[in-house]
Amino acid sequence: MALPDPATTPAAATHAALPLDAQGILELAARSMFQLFSSVSQGMFLVDHSGRIVWVNEGYRRFLPDLGVGSVEQFLGRMVEEVIPNTQMRSVLDTGKPVLIDLLTNQAGTFVVSRIPLRDEAQQVIGAIGIVLFDHPETTLQPLISKFALLQRDLDDARRELAVQRGRQISGAGSGVRRAKYTFASFVGSSPAAAEVKRQARRAAQSSSPVLLLGETGTGKELLAHAIHATSARSGGPFVSVNIAAVPDTLLEAEFFGVAPGAYTGADRKGRDGKFKLADGGTLFLDEIGDMPPSLQAKLLRALQEGEIEPLGSNQLVPFDVRVVAATSRDLTALVREGKFREDLFYRLHVLPLRVPPLRERRSDIPALVEVLGEDLALRNGSAPPELLPDALALLMAQPWRGNIRELRNVLEQAAMRSDSDTIDAAQLTRILRETGVEPAAPEPDAPALQPGAQAQGDLLRPLAQQVAELERRAIAAALAAHGGNKQATARQLGISRATLYARMENPA
């Protein structure tokens, strides 16, 4: 029969093509459904009553490499559990009950699957169909997963409440763990932008979902991570941080997940705990998450999804109970767009995103910061805090502060060291700003007392170490600004290791 033209044939005409007997209709429906599932699903296979694989469709073939099977020939004829770890096909054969929807996880990934028994005329189970409905359920099943995440959050909240109550009963316990260095009180600032980020961070502290701190270099992301931990129900537990950019890529996996005893010969023979293990019951701060190499992104995602880690050289999964706070000064969405950061990991971490404002968006906090940072510096150096005259303060408030609070702190430290009087005026500060790598922005104060040439000459007649340190600081600030805070690129450009860059940033020589 020629195919009817859908444009001219009335609907009734297509019905005429259906078989008239019930059996015929059922057979046709079964065939159509089989073909439909076979084409729209990600893959399908059949086992016989003994659990032996007897057929596999085109779609399923792409899972074979991840299952460690070289070819269809090697797949056919094998017992299903031999080639598909964690499969429940056997129980479908045994019970004759279908499993319409289930999650299957093995080395090939996590899949949404269906398992349907096949029966003969006498209703005996003679085989079963396995269908992979979706792979990558984290993206295809987003609505379901969001709902699940909500339930999970409620559960976490209930657990937290319990932990608080238990904590009250055994107060005083938990000594010896690393505690957070800062609380919200350490985050100086009462400008609207500062108040808002503190409000959001306090809210984040009440939840146990992952937090993602986004903001330029030196804005206080690490400080906030400490404060969130200190205010959370996990404050009795450890606060453990990993600076991903500062650890060589080859060592990161061991750093995260640990090493099983005997995995290596030599020094590490005894095995070593990873940061996930060390942070158990507390908070794990993943600093510079944007610098994470792709291979580890996959492993981190799996760990966060499963709540389990696999130490290097071990084949055992170890559960962990860790709240993750991640931070980066890089543009994560751009990294996702460029394919450098996994989208699924991004969403996993992006549950509570917190934008930490740059200092130039909260200039009104600068006087308070100058006071607090100045006092802190004075305490450390056993000196008097630098006293800034109003014109100097006005000058500070006008700067772009690309290095944010860390840069402000450096400038204040230089000011305290360099100034030969108790007070610092705008002219002195202009010189200091220039020396630390900042070309002062308006309001331009009075011209410096010395001519530029003479000033440069005077500058050269100072201890060499001081001059070298100054040049380093300037080079680092310029390279950081040029690379948008990307420390990996900054270190590469300056020809120093990331570890050295960090050491210089934290502790300017």
Ligand X SMILES: Nc1ncnc2c1ncn2[C@@H]1O[C@H](COP(=O)(O)OP(=O)(O)OP(=O)(O)O)[C@@H](O)[C@H]1O
Shortest Å, Cβ 469 to ligand X? 18
3-state secondary structure of 302: helix
Binder to ligand X among 60, 75, 187, 346 (CB under 6 A)?
187
Residue 203: both structure tokens together: 């809210």
Binder to ligand X among 110, 114, 217, 430 (CB under 6 A)?
217
Shortest Å, Cβ 327 to Mg ion? 6
Q: Which residue is nearest to Mg ion (CB)?
A: 222
Whether cis (ω within 30° of 0) applies to the bond prior to 443 is yes
Q: What phi, psi does 25 have (nearest 5°)?
A: -65, -45
Q: What phi, psi does 281 have (nearest 5°)?
A: 85, -5
Contact status, residue 278 vs residue 242, Cβ threshold 8 Å: no
Stretch that binds ligand X, among 112-120, 169-177, 340-348, 404-412 (CB under 6 A): 404-412
Our finding on whether 436 is near ligand X (CB under 6 A) is no
Query: What track of x and - describes contact with ligand X for positions 361 through 380 (by CB under 6 A)?
Result: --------x--x--------
Number of residues that bind Mg ion (CB under 5 A): 1
3-state secondary structure of 35: helix
Q: Which does 220 bind (CB under 5 to 8 A by kind): Mg ion, ligand X, none?
A: ligand X
Our finding on whether 291 is near Mg ion (CB under 5 A) is no
Shortest Å, Cβ 505 to Mg ion? 9
CB neighbour class for 287 (10 Å; exposed up to 12, middle 13-18, buried from 19): buried
d(CA 503, CA 472): 12
Q: Judged by CB, which is closer to ligand X: 80, or 359?
A: 359
Q: What is the CA radius of gyration of the chain?
A: 31
Listing DSSP states for 304-356 in one string gives HHHTEE--BT----EE---EEEEEESS-HHHHHHTTSS-HHHHHHHTTEEEEP
Q: Please report, as residue ranges, which positions from 314 to 373 form the binding site for Mg ion (by CB under 5 A).
A: none
Half-sphere exposure of 120 (CA within 13 A, CB side): 7
Our finding on whether 222 is near ligand X (CB under 6 A) is yes
Our finding on whether 291 is near ligand X (CB under 6 A) is no
Our finding on whether 490 is near ligand X (CB under 6 A) is no
Our finding on whether 222 is near Mg ion (CB under 5 A) is yes
Our finding on whether 114 is near ligand X (CB under 6 A) is no
End-to-end CA distance of the chain: 88
Stretch that binds ligand X, among 63-71, 102-110, 184-192, 464-472 (CB under 6 A): 184-192
Stretch that binds ligand X, among 9-17, 182-190, 291-299, 318-326 (CB under 6 A): 182-190
Question: Given the rule CB under 6 A, which residues bind ligand X?
Answer: 187-189, 215, 217-223, 329, 369, 372, 405-406, 409
